[in-house]
Amino acid sequence: MAATTAANTTSSPPPVKRRRFSLTRVERKNLLLGLLFISPWIIGFVVFLAYPIYYTLQLSFTQYGGFGDPVWIGLDNYSRMFDDNVFRKSLYNTLYYTAFAVPIGVVVAMALALAMNQPVREIPIYRTILFLPSVLPLFAVSFIFMILLDPSQGIINELLRRFGMSPPNWFGDPAYAKLGIVMIAQMGAGQIALIFLAGLRGIPTHLYESAMLDGAGWWSRFRNITIPLMTPIILYDLILGISQGIQVFTQSYIITNGGPANSTNFMVFYMYNNAFRYGGQIGYASAIGVVIFLITFLLAGLIFWTSSKWVNYDLN
């Protein structure tokens, strides 16, 4: 019996080892079908994102005016930025705007979400009213704020006069121009507020009930329950806000044209001017575009790197 078992053991063929990256016929078929289904996205990604990024990077090392062949000049466009006072000013303006508009946007969106989460009978109407400004095109919002913040006839300045304050010339004074554009950015907070509202609805109610039984007040519940459980959505808002803040353009283009005294000359606006207004300096504009991409990537990466210390994904 033992001899028979030994014979069977020695006669059985060794298991076939599959190569690490080999696919069966069914797996290859499924892979091809999957690639076929996502081919529209792949084509769009290559044509409208990957290739433009590559071509912009290539142009950033050249001198190119839009006609003829680009002339390779190496790192001259990047070294030029260190001596360009207008570029340094646009970099400061962009970071200033992002540093104020993004955190204020988080606070405004959270406040709107808390307001829309109240058990009021007319709350659907209030939600619609709060969301409507974010639907308006940005150029229309810019024109509206030009009227609201008009130094002589604007409603906001008139309210400040009623309270005995001297209203500033919002878009005509370099000290207030960027703050005025930061105010415009908050008109789109209603869209993010809906995402915050969905996050608030996803918080288990038993956590608040247990905290109330322990005698916790509204501020304690908000600080110890709401804020920690909303941090994933806050992370999303920060990443989105940084991307949009670095690319601010429309408000400056329509309202101030980069002024006064370059106080609202943001990086994208300066890139646009170099490409289409200043004699077609497309190579230098491409270098500015690469710097904008790198700054956005680094800031987003920094937020992601620190998120492990303050973002909470546990609902228990």
Concatenating the DSSP letter of every residue in 80-135 gives HHHH-HHHHHHHHHHHHHHHHHHHHHHHHHHHHHHHHTS--TTHHHHHHHHHHHHH
pLDDT of residue 33: 92
The Cα 260–Cα 93 span in angstroms is 12
Q: Which of 34, 29, 238, 200 is nearest to 123 (CA)?
A: 200
For residue 13, the model assigns a pLDDT of 55
Q: What's the pLDDT score for residue 81?
A: 93
Amino acid at 26: V
Q: How far apart are CA 186 and CA 176, in angstroms?
A: 16
pLDDT of the residue at 20 = 59
The pLDDT, as a whole number, for residue 265 is 95
Strands 62-63 and 71-72: antiparallel
Cβ(266)–Cβ(280) under 8 Å?
no
State how far the Cα of 258 lies from the Cα of 274, in Å rounded to an integer: 13
CB 101 within 8 A of CB 179: no
**Any idea which residue has 């996205």 for tokens?**
41
pLDDT of the residue at 118: 83
pLDDT score of 2: 47
63: β partners: 71
Sign of torsion, CA 242 246 249 252? positive
Q: How many CA atoms lie within 13 A of 299 on its CB side?
A: 20
pLDDT tens digit sequence for 6-25: 445 555 555 555 555 678 88
Q: Which two tokens stand for residue 83?
A: 């001596």
DSSP 33-79: HHHHHTHHHHHHHIIIIIHHHHHHHHHTTEE--SSS--EE-TTHHHH
pTM listed for this prediction = 0.85
pLDDT at site 248: 93
Instruction: State how far the Cα of 239 lies from the Cα of 123, in Å rounded to an integer.
Output: 29
- Domain positions in the chain are 76-310
Provide the pLDDT for residue 122.
Answer: 79
Q: Which CATH code of 3.10.105.10, 3.30.2010.10, 1.10.3720.10, 2.70.210.12 fits the domain covering 76-310? A: 1.10.3720.10
Residue type, 198: A
Start-to-end CA span in the chain (Å): 59
Extract the residue ranges of the chain whose pLDDT is less than 50.
1-3, 5-7
Task: For residue 89, give the amino acid letter.
Answer: K
Helix, strand, coil percentages for the chain (3-state, nearest 5): 70, 0, 30
Burial class (CB in 10 A: 0-12, 13-18, 19+), 274: buried
